[in-house]
Chain A
Amino acid sequence: MKMINLMRGSVMKIHGLSSASRRLAAEGGVRGLSSSSGPRVCIVGGGPAGFYTAQQLLKARQNTAVDIYERLPVPFGLVRFGVAPDHPEVKNVINTFTQTGQHERCSFHGNVNVGKDVTIDELRQAYHAVVLSYGAEGNRSMGIPGEGLPGVFSAKDFVGWYNGLPSNKELHPDLSFETAVILGQGNVALDVARILLAPVEMLKETDITQNALEALAGSKVRRVLIVGRRGPLQIACTIKELREMVNLPNTRADMLPADFEGIAEALKDLPRPRKRLTELMMKAVKEGGDDKAEKCWGFRFFRSPVEVLAGADGKRATGIRLALNKLEGSGESARAEVTGQLEDVDCGLIISSIGYKSIPIDPAVPFDPRRAIVPNEMGRVQDTAGLYCSGWVKRGPTGVIATTMNDSFDTARVLIQDMEAGKLDLSVNKPGAQAITALLQTRGVRAVLFSQWEKINAAEEKRGKSLGKAREKLLDVDEMLKIAWS
C-alpha cells in the first residue's frame, strides 16, 4: 500500500505541469521527471501479471522505469476479457492497475505485437531486463473426432465472445438448442453455465456485450450439463461459484444420485474447504430445487468426451459421446480409468472448458511444449540472462488473480535481487521505449498510450450509459485505434 503514497506523490507532480508538457512527458518514452540513467525494464503483456510485476518493480526502486507492451489497444487482459460480467467486484483490481499505468515511471504501449512488430532480442537490446507476462491465449483441445464441428466451442472463445474480445466477435454461437454440455468443472465452466442460464435481468446492466446479451435473451438453452472425468471430491470449481449456481433464479439442480455414492461417508475426513464445497453439492442433490423452474443444470461425473456426434447431414454437432470412468485412488491424485462403457447425450451446444494454453512468442525464447510454459527457475528464464517471466506463462494457466499477483511479486523480487547482486549490468545505459518507439515507427506501428486507452475507456462508458450498462465495449480494433488517436 506504500505504493499508493508513492504514486500519489508522483501524480501530484504531474498535475503540476501544464497538460501540454504532461503529454510530452508521456509520449514517445521521454521521461520529464525521472532520471534517465536508471534501470529500464520491459514487460510483455498488459494483463494482471504484467501490471502486478510492474507495480512491484516501481515500488522497489525509485529510479526504475517500466514499459508495458500489449498486443491489443486496451490493457488488463483476462480481467477485462475473462472475468464474468456479473462479477464486477473482481475487476476492482483495475483501479490499482490504472494507478500503475498512470505512474510517471511507467508507460503503457498498446497495439504492439511482440514477436511480430518487434522481436524479443530487439527488446533485450533496448532494456536491462525483459519480463514475459503474456499469459495463455490458446486452449487445450479435447483431441476427439468432431471437435471442429459447428456448435463446438472452447470456453476461452465463448467467454471471449460475451466479454467482447475482438477476435471472438464473429463467434455467433447458436443458442437454439435445449441442452448444452460443458466439458470441465472448473470455475470457467461454472461461469459459462451461469451466463447461459442467468435471467437476462441479472445481466442487462453489466458490461456484457450487447450482441451477447441479445443472443442470450433469445436463447432456447434450458439445460446445462457440466461434465467431469473424475468424481465429486475432485471437482475443481470453488464454493462461491457453486453457490451462485445453486441460488440461480428459475433453475433447479439436476444431479445423478449414483454419482454421489460413498461421498457422505467421506465427508468427515475432508479439510474444511473441500468439506463445505461437497456439503453444498450434496444439498443440491438432495433438494434439487423448484420443480416449476424452467431451467436446470447439473454435474455429470466420471465421464470423458470421446466423440462429438453429428446429425444425419453431418453438418453440425447434435450430441456428444461420453466414456464412463471409474476412479483409482482417492483425493487430489485420484485417476480416471476407462470402463469401456459409453453414453450418448443429445445436445446442440458443446463447450470445452479444460484449460487455457500458452503458446511460444518468439523463436529466441525457450518453450516447453509439454507443459506449455516458458521454462524457468523462480521466474528466471532458463539459459537466458536478463529474461524473466510471470503469471500463467510461467506457471501454467491456473489460479485466480491473487495467485497471479503473488507470482508476479515473486518474479519482480527475483529481478530486483539480480539487479542488486550485479547479475544485470546496469552500468550500461539502455534507450528503452525511445528506441523501440522509433523502431516501430519504421515498421508502420504506432502504440496506444495509457492516456489514449483512457479515451477508449471513456467512450465505452458513454456508450454503456445510453444502454443502461456499466460500459459497452468496443469490439473492433480499428474503432479502438480511431478513438485512441483522435
Chain B
Amino acid sequence: MSACALRVFVQRAAVTRKAAHQTFSQTTAFPRRGTGSYTHGRGINTLTNSLRAEEKVTVHFLNRDGKRITGKALTGESLLDVVVNNDLDIDGFGACEGTLACSTCHLIFEEAVYKKLGAVSDEEMDMLDLAYGLSDTSRLGCQVCLRKDLDGMILRVPDVISDARVDSEKESSTAPPKV
C-alpha cells in the first residue's frame, strides 16, 4: 500500500472512530475534513509549500457548467482536499467529508490516467456503485491521492440527478420505492 493510500486508509478509519465521538459543540467556522492538510491549519502548509515546490501538483476539473477550474495541491493530498483547499465551486462535493459514506466526490478520469491509479477497494466500489453516470474510469475523489505523475490531469465532474439510486434500467411506476 503506498504511503498516500495508507494515509487515506488510516485517516478514514480515524474519522470513523472519531465520528462516533463527534462533538458538535466544537464545530468551528472551518468544517472538519476527513483527509488532507485542511484540518492541520494553513501555516505549516505554507512553509512546506515553499520548501517542497517540486511536489506541487496542478489538477484541472471540467465542471458541470462546462467551465474548467484549476486547483493546486501537494502530492499525497486527495482530490477532495484539492477541491476543499482551493475552494473550488463544485456543488455538493464531499458531503460525507471523505468517509466513504456517499458518492458526491465522484469524478471521471481520462482512460490513460485511470489506468495509472491504484486498485479500488471494495469499500470505495460499494459507494461508487451508487453514483449517477458511473463510468469505467470513475473514482471517488476522496480515495485518490495525488502523485507527481498525475500532474496536469483533467477530471470531469459528472452531472448529478436527484435520485442517486436509479438503476440503468428504466424504473416503472409500480416498482417499490428504494430507500
Interface residues, chain A, CB within 8 Å of chain B? 1-2, 4-5, 7-8, 11-12, 52, 56, 87-96, 98-99, 184, 186-188, 205-206, 229-230, 234, 236, 238-240, 243, 271-274, 276-277, 331-333, 335, 354-356, 395-403, 405-407, 409-410, 454, 457-458, 461, 470
Contact = CB atoms under 8 A, between A and B. Distances in A.
Contacts of A52: 92
Given A89-B96, A89-B100, A402-B104, A470 B87 contact: no
Interface of B: 15-16, 19-25, 27, 29-32, 34, 83-84, 87-97, 99-104, 122-123, 125-127, 129-130, 134, 160-165, 167-172, 174-179
Contacts of B84: 1, 4
Contact of A333 (B19, B92, B104, B169): B169
Contacts of B90: 1
Contacts of A4: 30-31, 84, 87
A470 B88 CA distance: 32
Contacts of B164: 399-400, 402-403, 406
A92 B163 contact: no
Contacts of B175: 234, 332-333
Nearest to B27: A98
A400 B177 CA distance: 12
A236 B176 contact: yes
Nearest to A87: B101
B87 A236 contact: no
A402 B20 CA distance: 21
B177 A355 contact: yes
B25 A457 contact: yes
B95 A402 contact: yes
Nearest to A6: B87
> Which 9 residue pairs of A and B lie closest in terms of their CB atoms, listed nearest first?
A89-B99, A333-B172, A273-B129, A88-B19, A186-B179, A407-B162, A11-B29, A398-B177, A89-B101
Most interface-central of A1, A229, A243 (chain B CB within 10 A): A1
A272 B131 CA distance: 12
Contacts of B34: 89, 92
A2 B87 contact: yes
A206 B175 CA distance: 35
Given A4-B31, A8-B29, A92-B97, A355 B179 contact: yes
Contact of A1 (B27, B89, B130): B89
A2 B179 CA distance: 30
A333 B178 contact: no
A99 B29 contact: yes
Given A8-B30, A274-B167, A354-B176, A401 B95 contact: yes
Contacts of A410: 162
A421 B84 CA distance: 32
Given A88-B16, A354-B176, A405-B95, A399 B162 contact: yes
15 contacts: A1-B83, A4-B84, A12-B29, A87-B101, A90-B102, A92-B101, A96-B31, A186-B179, A238-B130, A271-B169, A331-B169, A333-B171, A398-B178, A398-B179, A399-B164
Contacts of A457: 24-25
B25 A458 contact: yes
B129 A238 contact: yes
A92 B99 CA distance: 9
A398 B163 CA distance: 8
A95 B27 contact: yes
Given A96-B31, A236-B176, A395 B162 contact: yes
Nearest to A48: B95
A253 to B, nearest CB: 18
A2 to B, nearest CB: 5
